[in-house]
Structure 1
């Protein structure tokens, strides 16, 4: 099952479950993977930035990815970003042999010019191989690499195995419109556009032409709802469910503590056994946990799935 340019829906970014002592929690991986399959996700992404991928060694990364791939029938994208191409190439080969649908590649922060960005992706595509579908991760707020719509068009034109953009620019609505305009005028072949940023702008991203979401949130069912309702033309209903979740979504989007919030809520929901992150990591204070509990209680008035 290979990733294609017509992929649509929600591909949640899966966190990596850990025991409090830092060991990988296999039972929670299985429970989490089953959960994503039950809520209508179209696929999964493992070893993304919110999956604490840099905290895993090579063998652990392959083991986590392989376990998820074996457990689900959904297409699984694996993050293979690495400081060097040797590590990227070996991880990409291993996960594709395990049955991954494709890989996601983020640009290193050292890239500054358009030609450097385009050249990097050409080299990365050569390293992983022309038969491996890949996703561009466009996340300038964290990676400090700014990709214009024109640069993305060049990457897509130069690499036949580029099938998806993970769009995480902010503000980025006009970028989606520009890329879809390229498709309409025939200057760029169609690719899938799935959006990140915790789903914070998903309501309007869908209206601008995004195919879905490729991000985390403690209630990915809401993301599935928004994408489905938007595709059906049910604009008011899509915004209603999105607006109900917006206070918690906003709280989870805080830099530095967002993953702690997400894991805490997933633990409250019984999906993860622990909200532990592997060190180095920050946690939630007692006050922060109480604030999240307050937001869950308020959300539960509008969405029964939040009554944990």
Structure 2
């Protein structure tokens, strides 16, 4: 198996746009979203992540998402998320989508399925061996329901030869990222909507792999840190952080971000699938105010 570690930078986690009734994937909007990431200089893309509502898509819809992203992504590498926590089901998910690609993905993102490091090693090595793909190890206990000690995660990843990155989303994220970076030789990316991005960079993260409606800000922050360190990145990031925090509200984060994408002209409707909650009407005006004050958010579209 030949694998390459993920390049540092910003790997945009894609939303899955839906038609207004929520019944179908809007591939035209998905193409527009991917083309935007290509245009702004993202390092790579992540399809079928939590932000992409992967667990609420049918197998046929997942194939459509992966095929659409691959067709629009130009030369950008792609990570494909797998929702299942057990190796057998994860491999079935991978088999469902891998054959629509004309080149291998940069990796398969698999959530940690057990607090036991030995079980994690068995789980992720099985997926790697059966699919022949590199593995992005995702630690996201709020979604998976699995909490693993960070030291145990370090011990597990050291025994996964196919690991190409770790996506750390265990709160508080900066201490977890610091421990992972110190103990591993694979890149560690932050997530959680970018809420801990600056501090994660300060303790050694390779960048961000997350969803945010103005990903230009993620890229600007990561580039500023690379070129000028903490002070330069902080100067850039402070203009985006109010919107980052506003969007990352429990239960309605996905809906808020989709509304932002609609205002930006990147998708056609803000539809989400249950059990995702719809953002309250009272907050949509607040969202427009945040967008008006956020660089690159196309304020000329806001309120139209």
Q: TM-score, normalised by structure 2?
A: 0.90
Map of 1:117-196 to 2, 5 A cutoff?
117-128=120-131, 131-182=132-183, 188=184, 190-196=185-191
1:49 counterpart residue number: 50
CA contact (8 A) 2:85 2:112 kept: no
2:297 counterpart residue number: 305
1:88 to 87, 90, 101: 90
Shift of 1:195: 0.9
Confirm or deny that 1:206 pairs with 2:201: yes
Map of 1:1-308 to 2, 5 A cutoff?
4-21=4-21, 22-72=23-73, 73-97=75-99, 98=101, 99=103, 100-108=105-113, 111-128=114-131, 131-182=132-183, 188=184, 190-297=185-292, 299-300=293-294, 303-307=295-299, 308=301
Stretch of structure 1 that moved more, 52-61 or 240-249 = 240-249
CA contact (8 A) 1:104 1:134 kept: yes
SS of aligned partner of 1:305: coil
Shift of 1:94: 4.3
Provide the alpha-carbon RMSD of the alignment. 2.0
1:215-240 CA distances to partner (integer Å, 9 max, x unpaired)? 00010000001110101124333112
RCO comparison, higher one (Cα < 8 Å, 6+): 1
Alpha-carbon separation, structure 1, partners of 2:187 and 2:82: 19
Change (3 A) 1:77 1:26: same
Alpha-carbon separation, structure 2, partners of 1:257 and 1:3: 37
1:94-123 CA distances to partner (integer Å, 9 max, x unpaired)? 433413221100134xx3434333333333
SS of aligned partner of 2:138: strand
Q: Structure 2: where are the runs of 5+ without partners?
A: none
1:78-100 CA distances to partner (integer Å, 9 max, x unpaired)? 11121554442133234334132
Q: Structure 1: where are the runs of 5+ without partners?
A: 183-187
Shift of 1:10: 0.4
- Give the total of aligned pairs: 294
CA contact (8 A) 1:203 1:238 kept: yes
CA contact (8 A) 2:3 2:162 kept: no
Shift of 1:272: 0.4
Change (3 A) 1:64 1:118: same
SS of aligned partner of 1:23: coil
Q: TM-score, normalised by structure 1?
A: 0.88
Alpha-carbon separation, structure 1, partners of 2:3 and 2:77: 7
